[in-house]
Amino acid sequence: MLCKIAWGNVRRAGRDYLVYLLTLTLAVTVFYAFNTISLQVDIAGVTKQNAGMGETLGGIISGLTVFLGFVMGFLMVYANNFIMKRRKKEFGLYQVLGMSRGQVARIMTLETFFVSGAALVLGLILGLALSQVMVFFTASLFKTQIADFHFFFSLGAFMMTVGCLVAIFLVTLVFNLRVVRRARIIDLMRASRQNETIKTRNPWISALVFVVGLAAIIVAYVRLLHDGLPYDGQPEAMNDFLITTVTVVAGTILFFFGLSGFLLKALQGVRGLYWRGLNMVTLRQLAAKVNTVSFSMAVIAMILFLAITSVTTGMSLADTMNNTVERGTPVDYTRCLVYWGPSVVDEMNAEADAQAAASAGAPSDAEAVAQRTQAARYAVADGPVDLMAASAGDTIDAGTPEAHSFDLDSITGDYVQVDGYDSIPRDGERPVVTLKDLCDKVGMDLPSGVDASSVDSLGLIVMTESNYNDYLRFRGMAPVELGEDGYTILSDMGATVNDIYNKVLGEGIELEIGGRTLHPAQDRVPEDASTFQNSMMGMNSGTIVLPDDLVASLDLAPYYSYLMVNYADDISTEEGDAYVQEERTFGDILNDAGESVAGWGVEATRTSTYESVDSMNGLISYLAIYIGFVLVVACAAILTIQQLSGVADAMGNYRILSELGTATNEIAHSVLVQQTIFFLFPLVVGIAHAIVALKGIIELVALFGGMSIGGTVGLTTLIFVVAYGGYFCVTYLMSRGMVHEAARARHAA
Amino acid sequence: MVVQSQNPAAAGAHMKTASASGATGAPVLEVRHIEKVYGARANATHALRDVSFTVEQGDFIGIMGASGSGKSTLLNCISTIDSVTSGNVLVHGVDVTRLKAKKLTRFRREQLGFIFQDSNLLDTLTARENIALPLTISRVPAHDVLIRVEEVARRLGIAEVLEKYPYQLSGGQQQRVAAARALVTDPAIIMADEPTGALDSKNARLLLESLETMNERYRATVLMVTHDSFAASYTHRVLFIRDGRIFTELRRGDASRQAFFERIMEIVAMMGGEGSDAL
């Protein structure tokens, strides 16, 4: 019997439940489809390239799902509250007719159960379909080929989805039961009448609040644009940033709090507009509603801001990597050696001494030998090491009978070694030239994100002219001619930093190094001839090329060496990649005294760099779309529910308007205006926030190789238009149906 | 044709000139043999059977009947809120049963004023805005709107409460605001459906006196549906409806309100009596 009532209720309250059902279904669909990611990457052939990808993505996505599940859960509670408020009277009636509270609670439980169940079934069917389609999307994101497409079902994703839905169901239930338990019959019966009392706020105060809110937002914008984001985590900057954040949040809330009052006052000022058609009705309806929904509008604006920012940033990062990867992979294989600097050497030696002292007593001869071979002592290298020769120190399959030396030479065609020198002379304190020096000379600010405390000690890497010309010849480019007193600067970091270097070179700034006055030999940074290793993004943040004799006279210690290798003609890329990727241990780099002078750093093949870019791209895009989509849907759903319940509350008013002789489409137009304002304002504020924040973010990202928003905006916009606009259309169409219904209803009936 | 001058678009202006010149002649409202049937054959209900009557300019007419007698259906059919099954309703010679939806809306807006039992004010608007609503919907210039609202509010004694919201007003005030809203457009007919139904006797009397004033001083034509004999005694003429037919009609003539009230009571008692005989 209760079951029958509940089922009847769900069907009757169909419209109220429709949005609830729609949103829950959408959530289930998205949850399931995205949680099949680990299976998808399998089918899309991503795991063949990058074995850990499936697990990594799967892990992140399930973590995100739990978080988004929470967001959805609260959204559902919210949606449900609206339905409950409208039905209080009905529940009161059940109790008047003699049902116990337990029975009423059971009816409600069953109703929630029916709707959630329907959402689960519908959502899973859609999710199953979506996940099959998404495989192709995944493949294109990760730039792989689908080897063997087949229908698949993921038990893990299924469990995850059901788990989330059950959690949402339970939370909703708890809130619903509380409504029934707490309420007295008289309150339930009176609920509809209580809703009619409309609290109005003084429009003057509202308008003032609006202006204050707007001012706060503007102040926060100015602060953010001026200070930028706090990259280095300095307490002062963080503090400033915190104040900015609080200001913008408070400003946003006040803005929406006073919005309707402001609009009302502003339009009342224009008599001809206010006292015309349904304008005053539209404004008063807005004002009446904004009282209850202003806070959620502010929250929605903030959520939309987060969604826009995360999606755009994520996609732009991916874009940036895509654009720089070609320049970033000049050769088949690179490896890098990093020399110990003086401070590292001192530190490590001090540690070794301490250990030696601790073990006390004279070490036996055998121990002494063992310590020496493991290079217990460290030293600053006298000069660069020959990497090709040193590579032979690596052992493939170490510890097995097949152990043999890494014979890089056997697969190498042509190669070049690039050596960079520390810019602080061996006996000096200060770098010969720093980024700050250059900034000061051209009157530019240090790029945001540069650690302010170490600007004085951060020098440019130094390179000899002959070495750089070796590199240029290797790359098939024309050598540079520095002459007696020329210099040039190399960097592949993109906009922010290169702007400074380009200005230095372009303005012909003279540099005083080693007692010589130097002039730029080029007027621009050769960005395409500044990359020394395979990498997703620019890694060379600034290298100054000086005449050989000047470098020699400066007495600089080596800083790093790069080996850039193209495979021999008879070695295919696959063979070469396979050889360098074989499991091996790195050899020690020792000087004549048996002291360690350097350690092996990053090595990368062109293929692996491309693959990791693709994977990274896929990962970031995936997460950005997932988060963005769910957040946007959540916001749109809240707005839809609010608007529909608002229209339902105003049905009486629309009926009166119709009786007074207002054309139905005029009423519908008034509703459209109201809904447009409710949907548009949070979006506009969210976008405005995002633009300002993105400006800060772009500055940060630009430091790592430039960032273009352009291409990604297209996709972001599409996601928005489809999700947000879709909800808006649904809201309006349903509202229009309700208005027509109100117009048809006879006042006597 | 004469109808041309009755073009609803010009009706507002026309009405003013008509009342100013005190023109009689073409009846304001002519109801001709209207029928209203609900439902299909087997369980068809005749809500109205062959109802005909005429209302002249400046009439104050009451329609009385027990609940279920069809009096509200009659009002709804005249006011085009409901459609008739057969028959015609002519307002200033224009057959409103033939009008298309768009023209109907316009007709309602320009020729009719409504007062309901529950005042049916928009709860989000102030009293002033509520009264102004029919004018703004008809795109009357803002300047005229405000002047006309002031004027009608003064006539009904609600000028002081114009800035208040409906929930801040008493029931009587709400009803007078609703009356002001019905009057502000100078409609051809004011339709009042149980206007005193939700009021206490003092407020009911105030409202009825207002309607009487509007009728006598400004020659407004009023059609009032009521089941309250006291309210009906304020009118000039009462139509009694029973089982969807006009049972009888009573004219006040020069009789005092008290005498008219007693005659109404007699008819009501008779109708009730016959009803009980039927049992």
Q: Which residues in chain A have their CB less than 8 angstroms from residue B124's CB?
A: 198, 281, 284-285, 287-288, 650, 653
pLDDT at A95 (0 to 100):
77
pLDDT-based confidence at residue A229 (cuts at 50, 70, 90): low
Q: What secondary structure does DSSP assign to A242-303, as a single string?
A: HHHHHHHHHHHHHHHHHHHHHHHHHHHHSHHHHTSTTHHHHHHHHHHHHHHHHHHHHHHHHH
Tell me what ipTM this predicted complex has: 0.75
Among A98-107, A615-624, B200-209, which range has the highest average pLDDT?
A: B200-209
- Residue A199 pLDDT: 57
CA dihedral A699, A700, A706, A708 (to 10 degrees): -70
Record: contact A661-B136, CB cut-off 8 A: no
Question: Distance between CA A418 and CA A464 in Å, rounded?
Answer: 9
Instruction: Give the count of beta carbons closer than 10 Å to the beta carbon of residue B164.
Output: 16
Q: Are the C-beta atoms of A530 and A494 separated by less than 8 Å?
A: no
Name residues 642-671 of chain A within 8 A of B (Cβ).
650, 652-653, 656-657, 659-664, 666
Instruction: Tell me whether residues B125 and A280 touch, CB distance under 8 A.
Output: yes
Strands laid side by side in the A404-405 sheet: A404-405, A395-396, A584-585
Residue A460, pLDDT score:
85
Nearest by CB to residue A747, choosing from B81, B105, B122, is B81
pLDDT of residue A48: 65
- The answer to whether A546 and A482 have CB atoms below 8 angstroms apart is yes
Q: pLDDT tens, A290-336?
A: 766 788 888 888 888 888 887 777 777 777 777 777 777 888 888 98
Mean pLDDT along residues A463-486: 89
Confirm if A267 and A651 have CB atoms less than 8 A apart: no
Question: Cβ atoms within 10 A of the Cβ of A506, count?
Answer: 14
Q: Which residue of B has its CA nearest to A276?
A: B136
Nearest-neighbour CA in chain B from A257: distance (Å): 18
| Closest residue in A to B182 (Cα–Cα) | A660
Q: What is the model's pLDDT at position B61?
A: 92
Inform me whether the C-beta atom of residue B122 falls under 8 Å from chain A C-beta atoms: yes
CA distance B225 to B74: 9
Across the range A722-748, mean pLDDT stands at: 80
Closest residue by Cα to residue A128 from A164, A148, A155, A149: A155
Q: Nearest Cα to A497, choosing from A445, A535, A430?
A: A445
Which chain A residue's Cα is nearest to B80? A659
- A748 to chain B: closest CA residue: B72
B65/chain A closest Cα distance in angstroms: 15
Note the pLDDT tens digit of each residue in A272-295. 788 888 888 888 888 777 766 788
Asked if A277 and B76 come within 8 Å (Cβ–Cβ), the reply is no
- Interface contact A661-B193, CB threshold 8 A: no
Nearest to A6 by CA among A94, A74, A70: A94
pLDDT at B239: 92
B164 touches chain A (CB under 8 A): no
β-partners of residue B51 are B34
Cβ within 8 Å, pair A660-B107: no
- B34 forms beta bridges with B51
Quick one: A553 exposed, middle or buried, by C-beta within 10 A (0-12, 13-18, 19+)?
Answer: middle
- Environment class of residue A29 by beta-carbon count within 10 Å: exposed (0-12), middle (13-18) or buried (19+)? buried
pLDDT over threshold 80, residue A163? yes
Q: B245: Cβ–Cβ under 8 A, 6 or more apart, which residues?
A: B49, B50, B51
Contact B107/A at CB under 8 A: yes
Domain presence at residue B4: no
SS3 string of chain B? CHHHHHCHHHHHHHHHHHHHHCCCCCCCEEEEEEEEEECCHHHCEEEEEEEEEEECCCCEEEEECCCCCCHHHHHHHHCCCCCCCEEEEEECCEEHHHCCHHHHHHHHHHHEEEECCCCCCCCCCCHHHHHHHHHHHCCCCHHHHHHHHHHHHHHCCCHHHCCCCHHHCCHHHHHHHHHHHHHCCCCCEEEEECCCCCCCHHHHHHHHHHHHHHHHHHCCCEEEEECCHHHHCCCCEEEEEECCEEEEEEECCCCCHHHHHHHHHHHHHHHHHHHHHHC
pTM attached to this predicted model: 0.70
Predicted pLDDT of residue A215? 92
In a domain, B88, yes or no: no
Whole-number pLDDT of residue A286: 81
A661/B82 CB distance under 8 A = no
Check CB contact of A375 with chain B, cutoff 8 Å.
no
pLDDT: is B32 or A81 the higher one? B32
| Rounded-to-integer distance, Cα A749 and Cα B225, Å | 16
Across chain A, mean pLDDT equals 79
Q: Report the C-alpha gap between A69 and A37 in whole angstroms.
A: 17
| Identity of residue B29 | L
Interchain pair B167, A656: CB under 8 A: no
Closest-CA residue of chain B to A281: B125
**pLDDT at site A749:** 38
Mean pLDDT of the region A657-667: 83
Q: What percent of chain A has pLDDT over 70?
A: 85
Q: What are phi and psi of B13, to 5 degrees?
A: -65, -40
Q: Which two tokens stand for residue B259?
A: 């005498």
Within a domain: B38: no
**The pLDDT of residue A373 is above 70:** no
Please check the confidence at residue A721 and state whether its pLDDT lies above 80.
Answer: no
Helix, strand, or coil (residue A593): coil
Query: What local confidence, expressed as pLDDT, does residue A449 receive?
Result: 61
User: What confidence tier does A51 reach under pLDDT thresholds 50, 70, 90?
Assistant: low
Within-domain flag for B274: yes
Whether residue A194 is predicted with pLDDT greater than 60 in this model: the reply is no
Alpha-carbon distance B255 to nearest alpha carbon in chain A (angstroms)? 33
Task: Classify residue B12: in a domain, yes or no.
Answer: no
The answer to whether residue A733 scores a pLDDT higher than 60 is yes
And the tokens for A500?
């400074």
Q: How many inter-chain contacts (A to B, CB under 8 Å) are there?
A: 100
Rounded to an integer, the average pLDDT of A721-726 is 83
Answer yes or no: is B190 within a domain.
Answer: yes
Contacts of A747 in chain B (CB under 8 A): 76, 81, 116, 120, 193
B110 to chain A, any CB pair closer than 8 A? The answer is yes
Assigned domain for B222 exists: yes
Q: What is the length of chain B?
A: 279
Give alpha helix (H) positions in A97-202: 101-141, 155-182, 185-196
Q: Does A279 touch chain B (CB under 8 A)?
A: yes
A661 → closest Cβ in B73, B105, B141: B105
In a domain, B147, yes or no: yes
- What integer pLDDT is reported at residue B110 of this predicted model? 81
Å from A222 to nearest chain B CA?
38
Q: Which residues of A622-639 are buried (b: 16+ CB within 10 A; e: fewer)?
A: bbbbbbbbbbbbbbbbbb
- Domain assignment of residue B242, given as a range: 58-82+99-278
Closest CA–CA distance from residue A537 to any residue of chain B (Å) = 59
Give the whole-angstrom CA distance, residue A465 versus residue A462. 10
Least CB–CB distance from B109: residue in A272, A656, A660: A660
CATH number at residue B225: 3.40.50.300
Instruction: Determine contact, residues B171/B199, Cβ cutoff 8 Å.
Output: yes
Q: How many Cβ atoms sit within 10 Å of the Cβ of residue A11?
A: 10
Tens of pLDDT, residue by residue, chain B (279 residues): 333 433 444 344 444 333 333 344 568 899 999 988 887 777 778 888 888 999 988 899 999 988 778 888 888 888 877 888 889 998 888 888 888 877 877 787 888 888 887 778 888 888 999 999 888 888 888 888 889 999 889 888 888 999 888 888 888 888 889 889 988 888 888 888 888 887 888 888 888 988 888 888 878 899 999 888 899 999 999 999 888 888 888 898 888 889 999 999 888 888 775 444 433
- Dihedral angle sign, alpha carbons of residues B148, B154, B160, B164: negative
Question: How would residue A25 be classed by pLDDT, with cut points 50, 70 and 90?
Answer: confident
Tell if the CB–CB gap between A666 and B123 is shorter than 8 Å: no
Any CB–CB contact under 8 A between B106 and chain A?
A: yes
**Nearest-CB residue to B139 (from A277, A288, A656):** A277
Query: Could you tell me which residue, A371 or B154, shows the higher pLDDT?
Result: B154
Task: Find, in chain A, the residue whose alpha carbon is nearest to that of B129.
Answer: A280
Nearest to B218 by CA among B250, B190, B251: B190
H or E stretch at A544: strand A543-546
Give per-residue pLDDT as tens, A549-564.
Answer: 888 888 888 988 999 9
Domain count for chain B: 1
Q: Which residues from B are below 8 Å from A745, CB to CB?
A: none
Instruction: Sort out which chain A residues have CB atoms less than 8 A from B181's CB and list them.
Output: 660
Q: Is the pLDDT of residue A529 over 80?
A: yes
| Structural tokens at position A657 | 């308007």
What are the tokens at B46?
A: 């005749």
Q: Do B146 and A747 touch (CB under 8 A)?
A: no
Question: In this predicted structure, what is the pLDDT of residue A121?
Answer: 92
